[in-house]
Amino acid sequence: MKRQFQLCIEWLLTKQGDKMKQQLLKILEQFKNKKILVVGDIMLDKYIWGDVSRISPEAPVQVVHVMKETYAPGGASNVASNISALNSKAFMAGIVGNDEARKILLGELKNMGINTEGIFTENDKPTIQKVRIIGKSQQLLRVDYEKKEHIHKGIEQSMISFFEKTIKNVDVVVISDYAKGVITQNICESLIKISKENNKPIIVDPKPKHRDLYSNVTLITPNNAEASEMTGIEDGDDAVIEMGNKLIKYLNTNILITKGEKGMSLFEKNGSVTHIPAKAKEVYSLIGAGDTVVAVLALAIASGADLKEAATLSNIAAGIKVGKIGTASVSIEEIKAGIEEL
Ligand SMILES: Nc1ncnc2c1ncn2[C@@H]1O[C@H](COP(=O)(O)OP(=O)(O)OP(=O)(O)O)[C@@H](O)[C@H]1O
Ligand SMILES: [Mg+2]
């Protein structure tokens, strides 16, 4: 009798699992041609690849003989590029400097079909750039170009006009905040107001020092360390529940805390808490997992998913992302295979 009962439970769970898989596949089918406004700190990632075989005669450092240089959109523009790779349209808003990096970055974004009308140029700042020098597949050095200052008032106004013009055209708004100057109080308040007036969901990848700007959005996605800093609760096994509950109360928004190899925990305003275990089999690169999470959340919500479904899909996609070598984005086919393996 007990065995029969057990079998019955297992059958029910498989049935439920099947239903969930079908539902996720159905949502994924809707991913095409969605429109997402991404606002935040745009960066260019440059990789210099070379060979290392000698020490410099000038100083005790290695000499890298450059073989090739490659570029990829970074920061907020990596969210936009993830959205493009998933067959949807990103409208990017942010700033660049008046330099060579700007040309390269805008070229890359246009090649991906990303709308760049919301990208403004500030002459007194460099385009934010992170240059990684890699010798024999090992990173030797990173060189950063950036000037962290709030964007100018005139640019703020132009960007807000761009939001007003574009909002009706998009399904979901993403704020990808690296606290490098674009997400000012005025930009954030205006964007939230405009999005709410037009009933558009807003997802925020936050930076702790801007915590108070994110009240009343749809969902924020801090990682463990960011949630800890935002709540003053020390990170630890049971702490995540406390952090989630405190952030909901504080900000009146749903919270998705990402926990690296431990997956993610979703805290909904209705009191529901869902822990989703990580999916990666092998881990090669952790760079950009957070950007993949936000891009997939936005597309899932634009496709009619509820928050649990959207989080589950983003967890599958991030698991695929960390298992990839290099900077390539995750594709629809890969997510589909990931759902079928559930
Ligand atoms: N080591 C790992 N193994 C399996 N999955 C992982 C691992 N690291 C990250 N992930 C997946 O990626 C998601 C986001 O990762 P993480 O919590 O590290 O975000 P993050 O710190 O914001 O990342 P980023 O550095 O890109 O901003 C996790 O919720 C999980 O699904
Ligand atoms: Mg992150």
pLDDT in tens, 75-87: 999 999 999 999 9
CA within 13 Å, CB half, 196: 11
pLDDT band at 14 (very low <50, low <70, confident <90, very high): low
In a domain, 22, yes or no: no
In a domain, 11, yes or no: no
Query: Which residue, by CA, sits nearest to atom 21 of ligand 1?
Result: 223
Rounded CA separation 235/274 (Å)? 18
In a domain, 154, yes or no: yes
In a domain, 58, yes or no: no
**pLDDT value of residue 308:** 97
**pLDDT value of residue 5:** 54
The atom number, within ligand 1, closest to the CA of 225 reads 21
pLDDT in tens, 137-194: 899 999 999 999 999 999 999 999 999 999 999 999 999 999 999 999 999 999 999 9
**pLDDT value of residue 15:** 65
Sign, Cα dihedral of 30, 31, 36, 38? positive
**pLDDT value of residue 241:** 96
How does strand 264-267 pair with strand 273-276?
Answer: antiparallel
Residue 306 among the catalytic residues:
no
List all residues whose CB is within 6 A of at least one atom of ligand 1: 223, 258-261, 263-264, 278, 280, 283, 286, 288-291, 293, 315, 318-319, 322
101 Cα: distance to centroid of ligand 2 (angstroms): 24
Which contiguous run of DSSP H or E holds residue 100?
helix 100-111
**pLDDT value of residue 17:** 82
Closest to 41 measured CA to CA, from 115, 117, 95, 79: 95
Rounded CA separation 253/258 (Å)? 16
Which contiguous run of DSSP H or E holds residue 252?
none
Q: Can you point out the beta strands (E) in 1-111?
A: 35-40, 42-55, 62-75, 89-96
In a domain, 25, yes or no: no
- The pTM (predicted TM-score) of the whole model is 0.95
Indicate if the pLDDT at residue 45 is higher than 90. yes
In a domain, 299, yes or no: yes
From 223, 243, 256, 297, the mutation candidate for ligand 1 (largest count of ligand atoms within 8 A of CB) is: 223
Paired tokens of 197 = 């007036």
Query: Which residue, by CA, sits nearest to atom 2 of ligand 1?
Result: 261
CATH code of residue 91: 3.40.1190.20
Closest to 258 measured CA to CA, from 288, 282, 218, 285: 288
Q: Can you point out the beta strands (E) in the chain?
A: 35-40, 42-55, 62-75, 89-96, 115-121, 129-135, 138-145, 172-176, 202-205, 219-220, 254-258, 264-267, 273-276
User: Rounded to the nearest 5 degrees, what angle is found at the Cα of 28, between the Cα atoms of 173 and 13?
Assistant: 120
pLDDT in tens, 256-309: 999 999 999 999 999 999 999 998 778 988 889 999 999 999 999 999 999 999
260 Cα: distance to centroid of ligand 1 (angstroms): 4
In a domain, 54, yes or no: no
**Cβ of 145: how many Cβ atoms within 10 Å?**
17
In a domain, 223, yes or no: yes
Q: Which domain holds residue 189?
A: 32-49+63-340
**pLDDT value of residue 227:** 98
The domain tally of the chain equals 1
